Structure 1
Amino acid sequence: MSLRVQSLNSDTTFALTFSHPALRKPFVLLLDPWLHSSPYVYHPLFSNQSHTTQPCISSISELSPVPDAIIVSQKKADHCNEGTLKELDWNGAAKETLLYAAPEAGRIVLGWKWFDQKRLRLLRWGETVKVAFPSGMGKPTVEEPAGWLELLFMAPKRLWELPALHNAIGIKWVVPREQGQGNQIFSILFSPHGAPIASLRPWLSSLPSRPQTPKNEVYMQTTAFPPPSLSLLIHPFCRIYSLLGGEVISGFPGGFSVCRHVTVDNWISAHDETKDVRGITAGLLRYRLWDVNKVEKDLKGEGIQGVRVNLLHAGDEVGFDLC
């Protein structure tokens, strides 16, 4: 069993491909598809942005295999992009594809006249959604089940923490094993703007611990028990602060907070493309940059070892062997 993560636009659009001997074809989960156009906030003169790097595909209809499921984590058009989603052949090759949307993004999708509402699944705060692999995919000769995905939408409760912006999607690939061994879990935290650790802690605490010596030395200073283990963190490196509205993206400090609470095996950068940002608010943004080397250095400087750090450009991919 393996997972392949490919960046499609150097930003927050990722294709996650789950492979297992029990599946006739890989299961593809697409995150926040945005390939073109210039999304704006309120009005183009107020704030708008566009890509400065070319996505590796021009339309999500080019994806092969076709996405089995799509997650939209936020309502903003660089995450919930109607033009990109509309290009998918929903009535043809993608007739089985389902769209899983955060609450406010779901309301945006419901306003699209062309979208079949039966294909929409809302991700409500605190409710785990099970995504079964499509029936008929299993190989008769393979007894080991491929399992299922579990999705959980997490957001802060306090309004000043901007729940519609600073949220996250917890993804678990759960694979049953023989009786008495417990399920095998590969966990992914997708947090494109970062989220307060208080909103993430219950889900992070539900993750299994590694039996071997933990890599997180800071955690071991306070407890003899190994911390939960997060397989993959998809989170920004760059911190962005607006003089008008406060923290837009928590960047490395937000990801570091996750690394202090769980053992993180892998960290992939998200939302770190240097975009063309225009409008009244552009001059009010302040950036603090971390590259891969600085992320690794700062983690080690805080006693956190063993996190494999990646920044994927459009078309780049990284694979994980889950056996």
Structure 2
Amino acid sequence: MALTVKSLNADTSFLLTFDPPAAPLSSPGLFPGSFTILIDPWLVGPSIILNSVFSHSEQTTKPSISDLKNLDREPDLILVSQDKPDHCHEATLRQLPPDCESTILAIPSAAKKIRSWKHFRPEFVHALPRYAQGDQQSIHRIVLPPPTPRGTCGEVTVTWIPAKRDLSKVHHAIGITYRPPCTVLSLLSPMHYIDLPMSPPPSPGSPMTIASSPRTIVPSPYNDREKTISVIYSPHGVSYDVIRPYASSYLVSESALPLTALLHSFDCVENPWWLGGNISAGSLGGTEIAKNLYARAWVSAHDADKDNRGWAVKLTQIAQHAVDEVKRGLEEGVVRKKLSNTEVVTLGSGEHHRIIVG
């Protein structure tokens, strides 16, 4: 089983490809049971907030593709995490045909904006509910059919976890999990398939347990159910305290820890309070999440150089952090070396990083 993270614009437009265990490494996303998610596509034109005098942003790195029609195939899901134009970019999304069959999931304000364009069929555009611990209706679920009639279904879930009292309205996380559909060959009759039983709920010691500190999640040495790939996407960052209820309940119950990948900014971006204050939490916030969830990989998001102009960016301050600095932050205070083995990755336009989950 594998997750491939591909950057389309070296910033925060990603294509995530989830592959089941049987999928060959040579053709990600094309095997039965594979699933693709396109995140916040921005490939052409500027990003303008209100008007060019207020905020005008252009990419300085050429995207790997200039048109969403150039993707290998139509994505299964399009995820829009904000209503700001560098995440919810109309010109780019309109590259998809009106009869596109990709499901579009967006936070409520972005879903409202996308519907107002009247470009996509409304039944394919869905607003993500706010996550509430213990409320199964606050998690959007997509069932993946099995490759054979006697197999078991897989599942993709998407969860929106916003911060409270967020003046800038950019600090939230999107939680994603992928459990592949399964088919198992019978040992008694290799030409016939058998059904797998439904995964039981986790016992108190499996697969993860909450340690005495309420802020720490500790891996259990036992795991009695199949692995689930998990991703946290938070390009502007969010406090770990916001994510913790989701991690300590849902991710634990789904056997989805350690976290497979964290997509989070390295750089810290600050505006005056009256312009939103902190815009990007940077490596400090990401380090807290990566350490507590034992992330296998941390991929830089929203850190690309851009040509930013306008009144709104004149007072913006950016503290950049290189890969080595981020690694040092992850190693500080770690007692057991194996818990600091998070891969720290920056992806150029068109580059990808593949994570194998055993």
Percent identity of paired positions between Structure 1 and Structure 2: 32
Please show how residues 233-248 of structure 1 align to structure 2 within 5 Å. Answer: 233-243=262-272, 244-248=275-279
Distance in 1 between residues matched to 2:344 and 2:11, nearest whole Å: 16
- The structure-2 alpha-carbon separation of the partners of 1:38 and 1:289, relative to structure 1 and needing over 3 Å to count, comes to same
Aligned residue type for 1:234? L
Report the equivalent of 1:189: 232
Report the equivalent of 2:245: 202
Structure 1 residue runs without a partner (length 5+):
212-226
Report the equivalent of 1:262: 293
Report the equivalent of 1:296: 327
Report the equivalent of 2:176: 171
Which of 281, 285, 290 is equivalent to 2:316?
Answer: 285
Report the equivalent of 1:214: none
Matched, 1:312 2:347: yes
Q: CA deviation digits over 1:222-256, x for unaligned, max 9?
A: xxxxx952111000000000124310110101101
Contact 1:189 / 1:232 at 8 angstroms: preserved in 2? yes
Contact 1:29 / 1:69 at 8 angstroms: preserved in 2? yes
Report the equivalent of 1:321: 356
How far has the Cα of 1:71 moved from its partner? 0.2
Aligned residue type for 1:71? L
Which of 148, 158, 165 is equivalent to 1:151?
Answer: 158
Please show how residues 93-242 of structure 1 align to structure 2 within 5 Å. Answer: 95-126=100-131, 127-133=138-144, 135=145, 138-140=146-148, 145=152, 147-160=154-167, 162=168, 164-175=169-180, 178=197, 181-206=224-249, 207-208=251-252, 229-242=258-271
Report the equivalent of 1:70: 78
- The structure-2 alpha-carbon separation of the partners of 1:90 and 1:5, relative to structure 1 and needing over 3 Å to count, comes to farther
Matched, 1:35 2:43: yes
Report the equivalent of 1:15: 15
User: Structure 2 length normalisation: TM-score?
Assistant: 0.78
The worse-fitting range, judged by mean Cα deviation, of 309-318 and 111-120 is: 111-120
Contact 1:170 / 1:189 at 8 angstroms: preserved in 2? yes
Contact 1:26 / 1:65 at 8 angstroms: preserved in 2? no
Report the equivalent of 1:216: none
The total of aligned residue pairs comes to 299
Structure 1 residue matching 2:259: 3-state secondary structure: strand
Structure 2 residue matching 1:297: 3-state secondary structure: helix
Aligned residue type for 1:185? T
The worse-fitting range, judged by mean Cα deviation, of 60-69 and 293-302 is: 293-302
- The structure-2 alpha-carbon separation of the partners of 1:121 and 1:183, relative to structure 1 and needing over 3 Å to count, comes to farther
Distance in 2 between residues matched to 1:165 and 1:80, nearest whole Å: 13
How far has the Cα of 1:33 moved from its partner? 0.6
Aligned residue type for 2:333? E
Report the equivalent of 2:5: 5
Distance in 2 between residues matched to 1:159 and 1:315, nearest whole Å: 33
Structure 2 residue matching 1:83: 3-state secondary structure: helix
How far has the Cα of 1:144 moved from its partner? 5.5
How far has the Cα of 1:159 moved from its partner? 4.1
Distance in 2 between residues matched to 1:145 and 1:272, nearest whole Å: 40
Contact 1:208 / 1:229 at 8 angstroms: preserved in 2? no
User: Structure 1 length normalisation: TM-score?
Assistant: 0.86
Structure 2 residue matching 1:111: 3-state secondary structure: helix
Contact 1:5 / 1:15 at 8 angstroms: preserved in 2? yes
Aligned residue type for 1:309? V
Distance in 2 between residues matched to 1:208 and 1:125, nearest whole Å: 19
Distance in 1 between residues matched to 2:353 and 2:152, nearest whole Å: 24
Distance in 1 between residues matched to 2:32 and 2:257, nearest whole Å: 32
The worse-fitting range, judged by mean Cα deviation, of 239-248 and 271-280 is: 239-248
Q: CA deviation digits over 1:189-234, x for unaligned, max 9?
A: 000111122321111213239x9xxxxxxxxxxxxxxx95211100
Aligned residue type for 1:6? K
Distance in 2 between residues matched to 1:36 and 1:195, nearest whole Å: 28
Structure 2 residue matching 1:40: 3-state secondary structure: strand
Distance in 1 between residues matched to 2:87 and 2:2, nearest whole Å: 26
